Structure 1
C-alpha cells in the first residue's frame, strides 16, 4: 500500500501548536506515513515534536470560515473583509491514546480538513505489515538479535522440580490445536498428546489447561484455560477430567477460580459454554469471582479520563465522577482475586485452575498478579518483563483488538478493553504499597502503558503468537522487552530503592489503601507535572547517595 494515497496535504506552514507544559509555538507541520511532525523554526533551539500516528485516538475539527460567517458582521465590516479576502482557518484537537491532548491552529479551511482526513486515515490502518514497527530500525539493534526473552522451554529447563511430573508437549506445534497458545505447553506427564487434543476440543477456542506457574516452596501450580464447552446437555470430556485430576494427584483438592459470576457461568452454560461440575471433577472446588471486562471496563476508563479532564476544580464533583467511573473498584476486585489465588497456593498449599470464558483477559490478569505477589523472581526488572511476555504475549492476549482504541475515540465500542492497562494499574498499586519490593520503576509501567497502544516495536502487535508468526513480526520487527533491558534503558527503569525479599507481598485492598494512578491518569496535568519532577529529583538524590555509599 502507498501511504501517499491517504496524504492530501503533506506540509503546512505557519501552524500554531499548543502542547501541554510548553508555550504556544508557530512552525511547520508535516505528515508522513506513520508520523505527525511539527518543527518550530522560529526559536534557535529548533524544537521538534514527533507523534506516532498510531497513538492518535480521536481528531476533533473546529473550522472557522470567516467569509461564510460574515452575516454576523455589520455591512461595512463584511465589505471590508470581503475586500481583504480574509482566509478561513481551523483548529484540530488531537486526543492521544496516552491521554495527551494537542491543538493545532491551521491556516486555511481546506488545508485543515485535508490534514484531519490524512490523520484519521493513517492512524486507523488495520494491516499489521503497514504499521510502523515494520519500518523502525534503531541504530543499536539488529533484526538478527534474539526476539523475546523466554518461553515454555526455558521455564521447564530452569525448574528441575517440574521434570518428575510435568513434560513439554508440542501438540500445538503448528498452531492448529489452539491458535492463541504458543507451540509448546507444559502439561502433566501422564497426559498424552491424544488426550490433549480431545481436551482442547472441549475447551473454548482450544485453550486446554496448561501450567503457567510452579511454586518452588511447596510444588503447587497455577493452571489456566478457557471455559469447558459442556452446554445445556451437560457434555463431559473424560480426557479433560483426567488432565485436571493429574494436576492434584496425591493431594486432597484443588481450586477452580472462575472470573465470572455464578449467574454469568450459568448463562454461558445455557449457550454452549459452562463450568466444571463437582460430580465430574471430584477434588476440585469452584470459586466465582466476577471481574469486569469488555465494554463495561472500556466505559469505566472513558468515565475516569473524563473525570480527570474536568477543569471545574469542584472537589465534590470530581470525587463523584471518580466514584461513578468504578475504575478503582475494578482495581480492588482484581487485586482481591489475585490475593485469593495466591492464598490458595502459598498459604493453603493447593493447586489452582483459573479461567473465565475465553481465558485471554481476566485469566491472565489474575495469574500475573498472583505470581508477582508470591514469586520474588517475577519482581525484578527482567523477571517482570519475562512474566509479561509469558502470560500476555505468548499467553494469547489479543492486544490488537483490545488496544485498538483508548478513552477518547468516538468510534462505536467493539472488542476494545483496557485489561492490560488495568494490570499495570494493579502493579502500580503493589509498587506504591511496597516501594522496596519491586525492582522496576513507575516509569517502566508508564512506558508499557504507552507502548501497548502505539509502539515502535512489534511486541504488542497482533492478537496471538500464531498471528505474529504468520505476519513475520519476529523476523521483521524489533522486540520491546529486549530494548528495555539494554544498559541505558535498564538504568532508567530500575528501582534504586529495590531490596529483594523472599516473602510474599500481600496488597491491602481496603478503599483507603488504593490510590488513583496519578502518574498515568494525570500525567498531562500541572499536578502530574509536579509529581514527575519531584520523582526525578528524588531518583537523582537516591542514585547519588548510592554512588557515595559505594566509594
Structure 2
C-alpha cells in the first residue's frame, strides 16, 4: 500500500443528531478531465464526506472545483447525503498510475461523483457498507430519518413544530368554505374510502357519506372529486379526482354523476362545470383498455371537457435524462441550445404552466368551477391544482403558505414521493432499535414489498418546483421566498433526512409514525427563515397583485441553470448571493418600519399639527404637500 493510501484522521465537522461514522477509506476524488485530489472518504449512516488537505501554494485545480463542495483555506470537503444517490457502480481500474477500486456514483440531483479507493484492504468493505446504507430497504438498515428525528425530538433541537404548519380545518376555515355551501367529512378518517386520500375531505354540504362510498368504485383508487380551493368572491371551486372507471363498456355511475352535479350547483354564479383532463386525449382514451377513460358528457349535465396534453411520467423521466446528458460531463458550447431543445424539458414546463393558467383563468375570469384529474390524480393533477392555486391565492406565495400548499396538495393527497424519487422508504422501513419511542400503530409495518420498479421514477415534483421558479422570475416581487428556498426543498426531498417526503401517502406516513418519530422539513427551514426570504417581496395587499398569470411561451421561460448545472465548475457563484439577500432583508425590514412610523406620524400631524412639525417652503406639512401633489402612497 502506497503512502497516499494511508488513512489520516478524519477532519472534524459537526455531525447531525444520530449521525454515526461507519467506515473510512483512503481515496482520490477524480475531477474530470484530469484533476486528482487525494484524501479520505468517510461514510456515516447519513452521508459520505470526502476531505482533502490543501497544500500551500498548490492551486492547480482548486479554481475548477464544483460549487457543491466546501472550500476553506486548509480543507476541501465534498459531502453527499446517501438518499441523493441513485446508483453506485464499482470498477477495478487504473487511474493516474494508481491502482484502486473505482466508484462511479450517480445522483438524483444531476451530479455524479468519481472516487478511486486506493486502500485496497478497505475498499470492498467500504463499497458494501455504502450500498447497505444507501439502499436501506434492501439491506434492512434503520432509516436515518427516524434515528435523526428521535434524537432531535428528545433533545428539542427545533423549537418550531413543522407538523403544525398545515391542518385541514385551519386551511379550509381560511378559505371560508363552511359558510359557502361546503363541509368537511370524516368518511375517510380510517382511509376506507381511499387509502391514498387524506383523512379529512371537503365536499358540498348536500353530499352524504353514503353518496361518496357509492361513488368510490367508479373512480381509480377511490379518489372521488373533492375540494382543493374555493374562490373567496365568486365561490367557484377547484376540485380534483382520478379518472372514471369507464372501460371499453362505457360504464356509468349515478352516484358519480350526482356528486359532480352537486359540485357544479354549489357555485351559484355559473351553471357550468369544466373538467380539465391533464392527459393528452389519445392517452386518456387508451386508458379505456385498462378500465379507465374519460367522463361521457352525455351523462354529466352542463359539463365541458378539455384536455391539457401533459405527458406521462415516462416521457418526463426521459426528458430529464436528456437534460443530464446535455449538461454533463461538460456542456458543449456549440451544441448547448440544440441539446436543450432536444431534451424537450422546457416544452414540458411550458405545457404544465399553460395547463395551470387555463384552469386559473376559468375560475378567476369566467367564475366557472373546475374539476381536474389525470389517470390516478396524484401526479399531473397535483401539478395543475397547486400551480393554479399559487396563481389565484397570494397566501400560497408566502413562506408559510407555500409550505401549506405542498403539505395539502402533494403530501396529503398522495403524491407518491417514495416511488417517484426512489426514496429510502420505497420497499419497506426498518426502525432504529431500542429508541424508547412508542411502538408503531397496530396497522403499522416494519417490512413492505420490494422496492418499486425504476419505471415508477419520475421528476413530477421537480417540474412543479421548476414551474414555481419560472413564476418567481416573471413576478420577482410577488413571492416571499427566494431561489434558495426552492432548491433546499428539492435537496431535502432526495436527502430523506426529514419525514415530510418519506412516503407515498398520508396513510403510510401515519402507519409508520412519521409525526411522532421524525422531524418535519418545515421545523428545520422555519428556524432560519431569513435565509429563504426574498428581499424584494411586496405583499399582495400592498402591490394589488392578488392574481398573477405567468406567460407560458417558450420566449418567456428560462433554463434553471442555478439548479440543474450548479454542480459544474462553470457555475461557481461570482457573487455572495445569500449574504447579499440576508443583508437586503434587514435593510427592507428597517425601511418598512421607518415608513410605517413616518406614515403614523404624518397622519397624526394632519389631525393635530405640531409646532415643530417639518414643513415645506409654503408652510404646509410634508404629508399635506404630498397629498396636494396627488401622492397618496406617502
* C-alpha distance 476-17 of structure 1, shift in aligned 2 (>3 A): same
Query: Secondary structure of 2:376's partner?
Result: coil
Counterparts of 1:98-137 in structure 2 under 5 Å?
A: 98-109=109-120, 111-126=122-137, 130-136=142-148, 137=151
**Greater alpha carbon shift after TM alignment, 380-389 vs 226-235:** 226-235
1:480 deviates by 0.6
| Corresponding position of 1:307 | 326
Matching residue of 1:289:
308
Instruction: Give me the whole-angstrom Cα distance separating, in 1, the residues matched to 2:300 and 2:234.
Output: 23
In structure 2, distance between residues paired with 1:130 and 1:335: 40
1:206–1:311 distance in 2 versus 1, CA, 3 Å: same
Indicate yes or no: 2:242 matched with 1:226: yes
Structure 1: segments with no counterpart, 5+ residues:
1-6, 67-85
Shift of 1:397: 0.1
Name the counterpart of 1:535: 577
- Does residue 179 (structure 1) correspond to residue 190 (structure 2)? The answer is no
Contact 2:175/2:229 (8 A) holds in 1? no
Show structure 2 runs of 5+ residues with no match. 1-19, 56-72, 425-451, 595-634
Quote the offset at 1:107 in angstroms. Answer: 1.1
Q: Which among 37, 41, 44 is matched to residue 29 of structure 1?
A: 41
* Aligned CA distance change for structure 1 residues 402 and 314 (closer, same or farther; 3 Å): same
1:79 aligned partner: none
Compute the displacement of 1:277 (Å).
1.0
Query: Residue 468 of structure 1 is aligned with which of 491, 509, 514?
Result: 509
State the Cα deviation string for residues 367-421 of structure 1 (Å, max 9, x = none): 0100111111110010011001100000100000000179xxxx97320010000
Q: Is the Cα–Cα contact under 8 Å of residues 323 and 340 in structure 2 kept in the other structure?
A: yes
Between the aligned partners of 2:208 and 2:331, the Cα distance in structure 1 is 63
**Worse-matched range after superposition: 301-310 or 24-33:** 24-33
- C-alpha distance in structure 1 between counterparts of 2:23 and 2:536, whole Å: 48
Q: How does 1:27-426 map to 2 (within 5 A)?
A: 27-40=39-52, 45=74, 48-64=77-93, 88-109=99-120, 111-126=122-137, 130-136=142-148, 137-138=151-152, 141=157, 145=161, 147-249=163-265, 250=268, 251-311=270-330, 313-315=332-334, 317-404=335-422, 413-426=454-467
**Is 1:520 matched with 2:532?**
no
- Size of the alignment, in residue pairs? 515
Please report how far the alpha carbon of residue 18 of structure 1 lies from its aligned counterpart in structure 2 after TM superposition.
4.9
Tell me if the contact between 2:42 and 2:48 (Cα under 8 Å) persists in the aligned partners: yes
Deviations 1:271-309 (A, max 9, x none): 311211111111110101111231111110010011011
Q: 1:70 is matched with which residue?
A: none
| TM superposition shift of 1:336 | 0.3
Contact kept, 8 Å, 1:87 with 1:108, in 2: the verdict is no
Distance change (3 Å), C-alpha of 1:396 and 1:372: same
Cα-to-partner distance string for 1:174-224 (whole Å, 9 max, x where unaligned): 112111111110011111000000111110001001100011121111000
Deviation at 1:166, TM superposition (A): 0.9
Match of 1:482 in 2: 523
- In the superposition, the TM-score normalised over structure 1's length comes to 0.87
Structural RMSD (CA): 2.8
Partner of 1:366, secondary structure, is helix
User: What is the correspondence of 1:13-28 to structure 2 with a 5 Å cutoff?
Assistant: 13=26, 15-18=27-30, 25-28=37-40
Cα distance in 1 for residues equivalent to 2:331 and 2:482:
32
Pair 161,134 (structure 1): closer, same or farther in 2 beyond 3 Å: closer
TM-score normalised per structure 2: 0.76
Whether contact under 8 Å (2:533, 2:585) holds in the other structure is: no
| Bigger-Rg structure (1/2) | 2
Verify the 8 A CA contact 1:97 1:450 in the aligned structure 2.
no
How big is each residue's C-alpha offset from its partner over 1:91-121, in whole Å with a ceiling of 9 and x where there is no partner? 3232322223333232144643443333233
